[in-house]
Amino acid sequence: MQKNDPRREAALRIVETSRLLRAVVEQRLRPHGMTRAQLATLSRLDRQDGLAQHEVADALEVQPIAMVRLVDRLSAQGLVERRTDAADRRINRLFITEAGRKRIADLEGFKADMGAELFDGIGGEDIAQMLRTLDRLHASLRNIQAADAAAPKLRKSGT
């Protein structure tokens, strides 16, 4: 690979942009008394209520112990409630409360403003092309991840 490989530069730019976006969102949410992880948890439950706590942690790529603390905070604010799974008492299911739904609704303006500011000056076709490219990258990464997960199994079986 050449020294200034554009693929490497693109990958680095994606990582840097993602980190910067997370930092800005975190900073902008602070005056609303919310963290990015709390908003992501509430948003996930708003779309898919009753998930197991570990499922939310997996979806948000949060360590289980961090998810426990996160849910503790949301529960203390009356935004989320834990319920024991009827089939397996070891599992906590998470449900967004009416107060949680109201909090999400109150932040719709924040999300709209953030999106408008973030994409200011970027046209619809550019955004559509970016989404197509990101979808292809996402699919490639999923394939790489699946191949990496299968590799130890193949080595173990001797194939």
| 79 in the same domain as 43 | yes
- Domain residues for the domain of 70 are 8-120
| 41 in the same domain as 77 | yes
| 91 in the same domain as 41 | yes
Q: Is residue 111 part of a domain?
A: yes
Q: Is residue 3 part of a domain?
A: no
- For residue 123 the two structure tokens come to 């046209």
| 91 in the same domain as 15 | yes
d(C-alpha 94, C-alpha 40), whole Å: 13
pLDDT per residue over 15-25, tens digit each?
A: 999 999 999 99
pLDDT per residue over 55-69, tens digit each?
A: 999 999 999 999 999
| 20 in the same domain as 56 | yes
Question: How many domains in the chain?
Answer: 2
| 111 in the same domain as 61 | yes
| 138 in the same domain as 68 | no
d(C-alpha 13, C-alpha 40), whole Å: 23
| 79 in the same domain as 48 | yes
- Which string of DSSP letters, residue by residue, matches 19-68? HHHHHHHHHHHGGGT--HHHHHHHHHHHHSTTEEHHHHHHHHT--HHHHH
pLDDT per residue over 98-134, tens digit each?
A: 999 999 999 999 999 999 999 999 999 999 999 999 9
